[in-house]
């Protein structure tokens, strides 16, 4: 597969990824390369399968066909134990945070460290304050419960939880959807900051072009189950690809037809 | 003829669907049980589930048991006095409570409270991606959410039933001595004279099974729920209804098994 001499393999490589639910095709042969330490932004309409794609990478959804390579190794062919070892190096920020509402913030943030016995409960409360500081939250927040936080604070806590175990790869599913523009800018800034600090590879889903240009090095467009375009995130809006340009400019007329009935 | 075949086919499909569902629930239970012997163990989650069942269900189970014991004493007195057999009231109360009503009523009360609570908690976690989040945080959701709850249900319900047995007998004793004019000592003597350890054990075995079933149906319905808040509401109802029916059906099966010996 890799004919490019001794160039390192991409951190994440998807080939021919397919997934259908009850006969409805969602992913129809997705090919995507994400270079190590790059930040890739995935664009695509609602329901186009962006979340499904991330969940395939995480092993939460088993694809019907195709390959997912991480560091050059196909994770779909791995034993369960090997796969878990790979997954341990991936962090995920879910679309609505998915914080555990029965646990205080500090247990949420240090959940993975506690689960892996890398830290005891007393140390975890201290560690949580440290990690919360990285996302601009005061130590007092650690004793609150998720329901007591505003939307922006929940996003920050979820971000803190995603980076707590210092992953190599971080996946962000619509990190700024539902936030006001200023909070969105703050979260984007934090994402750029923590990804750079960790030296991680990032894949982010977003609808928002401003966000996409802020957090992405590269961008890719998912449309009708395939990646139809990849290119620099800075070029969004004048890529010359009619599908991407229509999406980026939010125009009603163009190749993308909204299916109002499915 | 065609109509008959259609009807048979429809019945066949329904039976198949029921079998597939039963199989899926059984596999779910087996997977959860397999985590009992595979570390790590989530003792904290067990403690939480145990407290939820034992502590929060105690008042309602206690009240149910007391009133049931009182009613049993009154009803059996009315019935037995027609045969001049009033002396049997204490026996009837203690046997009915320990063998049958303690486990079944406590089971139904816990099904209403705990089956619903488990389904709602786990269902909410499912539809808000918290279960997926557990996986990404190096935690097996079956091991973390389901196994501790099943264990807690199996242990906590028998303990509740011990309390229900004692309070039920006390309820009967209160009516017996203060309303029906038995002497307190005579009532208690005939309560314990005829009670065998097997009666109590029979009830406790039943209640362990009921506790397992309530926790299992609560976890299953929550774990497999989908479709947002409405889905969670449906899961909650399904958990209560299915565990209540299973309790009554298994009560018959287990009683039959105990009598057969
Ligand atoms: N677990 C699932 N079961 C059935 N259908 C699903 C499942 N997950 C996603 N889908 C369907 O796949 C399509 C894409 O969903 P998703 O990836 O969440 O879209 P988005 O691009 O907005 O994130 C949707 O039509 C959704 O209904
Ligand atoms: Mg999505």
B138 and A CB contact within 8 Å: yes
Predicted confidence at residue A2, as pLDDT, reads 45
Reference B40, options B187, B138, B129; nearest CA is: B138
- How far, in Å, is the centroid of ligand 1 from the Cα of A189? 28
Pocket test for ligand 1, best of A22, A47, A58, A206 (most atoms within 8 A of CB): A47
For residue B144, what are its two tokens? 């973390």
Q: What percent of chain B has pLDDT over 70?
A: 99
Reference B165, options B189, B121, B201; nearest CA is: B201
Q: Please report the atom of ligand 1 found closest to the CA of residue A55.
A: 17
Rounded mean pLDDT for each run of 10 residues along chain A, 262 residues in total: 63 96 95 95 93 95 95 93 93 94 96 93 95 94 96 94 95 92 92 93 92 94 94 89 88 76 49
B139 and A CB contact within 8 Å: yes
- Rg (alpha carbons) of chain A, rounded to whole number: 19
Q: How far apart are CA B8 and CA B165, in angstroms?
A: 46
Task: Return the number of other C-beta atoms located less than 10 Å from residue B9's C-beta.
Answer: 10
For residue A261, what are its two tokens? 């009935």
The answer for B 156-215 residues in CB contact with A (under 8 A) is none
Residue of B nearest to A107 (CA): B137
Q: How far apart are CA A196 and CA B226, in angstroms?
A: 37
Where does the pLDDT of residue B141 fall: very low under 50, low under 70, confident under 90, or very high at 90 and above? very high
**Cβ within 8 Å, pair B133-A94:** yes
DSSP lists the bridge partners of residue A221 as A43, A229
The three-point CA angle A49-A55-A56 to 5° equals 90
Reference B132, options B123, B121, B122, B141; nearest CA is: B141
For residue B112, what are its two tokens? 């209403």
- Dihedral sign of CA atoms B75, B79, B81, B86 in order: negative
In tens, the pLDDT along B176-209 reads 999 998 999 999 999 998 888 889 999 999 999 9
DSSP lists the bridge partners of residue A13 as A33, A69
Q: How far apart are CA A54 and CA A231, in angstroms?
A: 19
In tens, the pLDDT along B97-127 reads 999 999 999 999 999 999 999 999 999 999 9
Residues near ligand 1 with C-beta < 6 Å?
A 21, 26, 44, 46-52
Whether B168 and B195 have beta carbons less than 8 Å apart is answered as no
Task: Return the number of other C-beta atoms located less than 10 Å from residue A35's C-beta.
Answer: 17
A94 and B CB contact within 8 Å: yes
Predicted confidence at residue B194, as pLDDT, reads 81
Distances (CA, A) of B148 to B36, B73, B108, B212: 9, 39, 21, 11
Which residue matches tokens 């309820």?
A: B171
Pocket test for ligand 1, best of A24, A25, A26 (most atoms within 8 A of CB): A26
Question: What does the pLDDT average to over B244-251?
Answer: 96
- Rg (alpha carbons) of chain B, rounded to whole number: 22
Distances (CA, A) of B182 to B67, B78, B110, B189, B261: 19, 14, 34, 11, 35
Could you write out the three-class secondary structure of chain A?
A: CCCCCCCCCCCEEEEEEEEEECCEEEEEEEEEEECCCCEEEEECCCCCCHHHHHHHHHCCCCCCEEEEEECCEEHHHCCHHHHHHHHCCEEEECCCCCCCCCCCHHHHHCHHHHHCCCCCHHHHHHHHHHHHHHCCCCHHHHHCCHHHCCHHHHHHHHHHHHHCCCCCEEEEECCCCCCCHHHHHHHHHHHHHHHHHHCCEEEEECCCHHHHHHHCCEEEEEECCEEEEEEEHHHCCCCCCHHHHHHHHCCCCCCCCCCCCC
**Cβ within 8 Å, pair A60-B128:** no
**Coil, strand, or helix at residue B1?**
coil
Q: How far apart are CA B95 and CA A197, in angstroms?
A: 70
Q: Which chain A residues have a beta carbon less than 8 Å from that of B139? A: 111-112, 115
Q: How far apart are CA A33 and CA A13, in angstroms?
A: 5
The nearest CA of chain B is from the CA of A189 a distance in Å of: 23
Instruction: Determine the distance from the C-alpha atom of residue B93 to the mean position of all C-alpha atoms in its chain, rounded to a whole number.
Output: 21
Q: How far apart are CA B120 and CA B117, in angstroms?
A: 5
Q: Which chain B residues have a beta carbon less than 8 Å from that of A91? A: 136
Question: What does the pLDDT average to over B45-60?
Answer: 93
Neighbours of ion ligand 2 (CB under 5 A): A 51
Which DSSP string corresponds to B27-63?
Answer: HHHHHHHHGGGSS---HHHHHHHHHHHHHHHHHHHHH
Q: What is the mean pLDDT of chain B?
A: 93
Ligand nearest to the CA of A44: 1
- How far, in Å, is the centroid of ligand 2 from the Cα of A135? 23
CA atoms within 13 A on the CB side of A30: 34
Distances (CA, A) of A163 to A188, A199, B195: 15, 11, 62
The answer for B 62-81 residues in CB contact with A (under 8 A) is none
Q: Which residue's alpha carbon is at the smallest distance from atom 6 of ligand 1?
A: A21
DSSP lists the bridge partners of residue B123 as none
Question: What does the pLDDT average to over B8-24?
Answer: 93
Q: How far apart are CA A66 and CA A15, in angstroms?
A: 6
**Cβ within 8 Å, pair A91-B136:** yes
Whether B93 and B72 have beta carbons less than 8 Å apart is answered as yes
**pTM for the full predicted model:** 0.91
Whether B115 and B214 have beta carbons less than 8 Å apart is answered as yes
For residue B93, what are its two tokens? 């109360």
For residue B78, what are its two tokens? 């009315």
Which H or E element spans position B142? none
């Amino acid at each position: 597969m890799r004919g490019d001499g001794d160039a390192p393999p991409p951190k994440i490589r998807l080939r021919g990824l397919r997934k259908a639910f009850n006969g409805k095709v969602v992913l129809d042969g997705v090919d995507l390369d994400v270079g190590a330490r790059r930040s890739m932004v995935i664009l695509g309409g609602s329901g186009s399968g962006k979340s499904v794609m991330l969940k395939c990478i995480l092993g939460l959804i088993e694809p019907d066909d195709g390959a997912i390579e991480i560091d050059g190794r196909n994770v779909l062919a791995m034993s369960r134990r090997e796969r878990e070892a790979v997954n341990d190096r991936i962090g995920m920020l879910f679309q609505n945070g998915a914080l555990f509402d029965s646990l205080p913030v500090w247990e949420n943030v240090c959940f993975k460290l506690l689960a892996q016995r890398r830290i005891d409960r007393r140390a975890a409360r201290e560690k949580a304050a440290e990690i919360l500081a990285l996302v601009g939250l005061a130590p007092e927040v650690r004793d609150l419960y998720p329901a007591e936080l505003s939307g922006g604070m929940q996003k920050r806590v979820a971000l803190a939880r995603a980076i707590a175990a210092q992953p190599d790869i971080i996946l962000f599913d619509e990190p700024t959807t539902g936030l006001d523009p200023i909070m969105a800018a703050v979260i984007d800034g934090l994402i750029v900051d923590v990804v750079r600090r960790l030296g991680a590879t990032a894949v982010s889903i977003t609808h928002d072009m401003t966000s996409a240009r802020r957090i992405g090095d590269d961008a890719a467009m998912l449309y009708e189950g395939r990646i139809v375009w990849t290119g620099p995130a800075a070029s969004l809006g004048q890529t010359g690809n009619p599908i991407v340009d229509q999406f980026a400019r939010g125009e009603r007329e163009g190749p993308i037809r909204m299916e109002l009935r499915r | 003829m065609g109509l008959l075949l259609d009807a048979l086919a429809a019945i066949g499909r329904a039976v198949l669907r029921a079998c597939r569902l039963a199989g899926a629930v059984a596999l779910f239970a087996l997977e959860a049980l397999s985590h009992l012997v595979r570390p790590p163990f989530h003792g904290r989650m067990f403690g939480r589930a145990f407290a939820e069942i034992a502590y929060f269900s105690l008042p309602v189970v206690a009240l149910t048991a007391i009133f049931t014991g009182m009613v049993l004493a009154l009803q059996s007195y009315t019935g037995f006095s027609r045969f001049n057999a009033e002396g049997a009231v204490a026996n009837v109360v203690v046997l009915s409570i320990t063998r049958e009503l303690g486990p079944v009523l406590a089971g139904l009360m816990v099904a209403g409270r705990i089956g619903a609570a488990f389904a709602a908690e786990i269902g909410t976690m499912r539809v808000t991606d918290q279960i997926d989040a557990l996986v990404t945080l190096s935690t097996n959701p079956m091991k973390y959410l389901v196994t501790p709850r099943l264990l807690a249900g199996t242990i906590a319900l028998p303990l509740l039933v011990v309390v229900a047995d004692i309070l039920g007998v006390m309820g009967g004793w209160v009516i017996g001595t203060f309303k029906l004019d038995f002497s307190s000592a005579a009532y208690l003597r005939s309560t314990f004279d005829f009670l065998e350890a097997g009666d109590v054990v029979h009830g406790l075995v039943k209640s362990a099974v009921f506790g397992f079933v309530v926790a299992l149906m609560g976890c299953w319905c929550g774990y497999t729920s989908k479709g947002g808040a409405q889905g969670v509401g449906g899961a909650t109802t399904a958990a209560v209804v299915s565990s209540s029916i299973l309790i009554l059906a298994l009560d018959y099966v287990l009683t039959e098994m105990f009598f057969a010996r």
